[in-house]
């Protein structure tokens, strides 16, 4: 399925951010009004996708701050979550994603899937291969976007075990060596600084950064197509972009001028590194 087929369905979607999809489905279930073959969630999809985008961007900026201060171990864990939120957003764009509905008890995690034949969203039980909420989300992403193989967006579904990298950092004894001027036992901080500055991925964990760059590129590419079809979404996306530009992106390359500018901002985030400034310059 081509990317244009993914985005064209949003042409007539309205925009309602009053509730999340999970809340809507829970309310319908509690009222015995839930039709699992016709969920009518279209108006709640785009706001939820933009919320996930914000979570992904803020985690990416948090990663940048941690990397600038040489907190590499926790920085990569934070970067993992940026990638995870992007996965959730991209799966919603594809129309094949997961939600948690407390009304269903222990089986509350469900699969929402768009049937392209009747153009209705269905509510399905989770297959066993998707039971793990994180591994399942990433597996679904790769299935949803298998068409990207061989394109410039291939890295967004790079075949590495992202969850395993996060778990190894968090739960083994090989990482959090920053007091010894290392990231992990065999990688020192200087090498990490070089990898980050040059945006390379010769270290396995830095592949998470490559994935992150490519998923952002992909999602903004999809957004460009959607906003051409949906004026309401274009207005909401433009407003979000203005907020990012006002709060996160600095006009000046000179560090002193960046600092001066930050003083006059109402919502001041940290000054982003040149790498991240370059990454987002074309998106926001």
Task: Give 74-123 pLDDT, tens digit per residue.
Answer: 999 999 999 999 999 999 999 999 999 988 888 899 999 999 889 999 99
Q: Indicate the range of 6-10, 82-86, 117-121, 273-277 predicted with least confidence.
A: 273-277
Whether residue 91 lies inside any domain: the answer is yes
pLDDT of 223 strictly over 80: yes
Whether residue 29 lies inside any domain: the answer is no
Q: Indicate the range of 40-49, 175-184, 193-202, 260-269 predicted with least confidence.
A: 260-269
Whether residue 71 lies inside any domain: the answer is yes
pLDDT of 262 strictly over 90: no
**Residue 277: what pLDDT?**
72
pLDDT of 268 strictly over 90: no
Give the count of domains, the chain. 1
Whether residue 101 lies inside any domain: the answer is no
pLDDT of 169 strictly over 80: yes
Range of the domain at 247: 44-95+132-281
In the predicted model, what is the mean pLDDT of residues 140-151?
Answer: 95
User: In sequence order, what DSSP letters do the residues of the chain get, joined into one string?
Assistant: --HHHHHHGGGG-----SS-HHHHHHHHHHTT---TT----HHHHHHHHHHHHHHHHHHHHHHHHHHHTT-HHHHHHHHHHHHHHHHHHHHHHHTEEEEE-GGGGGG-EEEEEEETTTTEEEEEEPPGGG-SHHHHHHHHHHHHTGGGTTSTTGGGG-SS-HHHHHHHHHHSSSB--GGGTEEETTEEHHHHHHHHHHT---SGGGHHHHHHHHHHHHHHHHHHHHHHH-HHHHHHHHHHHHHHHHHT--S-SSHHHHHHHHHT-SS--PPPPHHHHHHHHTT-
Whether residue 157 lies inside any domain: the answer is yes
**Residue 248: what pLDDT?**
59
Instruction: Supply the pTM of this predicted model.
Output: 0.92
Whether residue 116 lies inside any domain: the answer is no
Grade residue 152 by pLDDT with cuts at 50, 70 and 90. very high
Whether residue 105 lies inside any domain: the answer is no
Whether residue 233 lies inside any domain: the answer is yes
């Amino acid at each position: 399925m081509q990317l244009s087929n993914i985005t064209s369905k949003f042409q007539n979607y309205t925009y309602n951010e009053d509730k999340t999809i999970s809340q809507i489905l829970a309310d319908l279930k509690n009222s015995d009004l839930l039709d699992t073959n016709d969920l009518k969630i279209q108006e709640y999809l785009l706001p939820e996708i933009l919320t996930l985008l914000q979570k992904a961007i803020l985690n990416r900026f948090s990663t940048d701050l941690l990397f600038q201060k040489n907190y590499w171990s926790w920085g990569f864990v934070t970067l993992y979550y940026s990638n995870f939120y992007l996965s959730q957003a991209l799966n919603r764009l594809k129309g094949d994603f997961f939600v948690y509905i407390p009304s269903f008890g222990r089986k509350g995690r469900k699969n929402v899937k768009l049937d392209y034949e009747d153009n209705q969203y269905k509510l399905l039980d989770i297959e066993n291969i998707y039971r793990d909420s994180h591994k399942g989300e990433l597996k679904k992403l790769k299935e949803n976007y298998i068409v990207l193989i061989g394109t410039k967006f291939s890295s967004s579904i790079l075949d590495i075990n992202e969850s395993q990298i996060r778990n190894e950092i968090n739960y083994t004894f090989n990482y959090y060596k920053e007091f010894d001027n290392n990231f992990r036992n065999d990688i020192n901080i200087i090498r990490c600084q070089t990898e980050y500055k040059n945006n390379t991925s010769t270290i396995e964990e830095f592949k998470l950064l490559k994935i992150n760059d490519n998923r952002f590129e992909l999602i903004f590419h999809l957004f460009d197509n959607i906003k051409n079809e949906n004026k309401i979404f274009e207005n909401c996306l433009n407003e979000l972009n203005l907020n990012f530009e006002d709060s996160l992106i600095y006009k000046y390359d000179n560090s002193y001028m960046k600092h001066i500018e930050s003083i006059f901002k109402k919502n001041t985030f940290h000054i982003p590194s040149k790498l991240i400034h370059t990454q987002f310059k074309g998106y926001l």
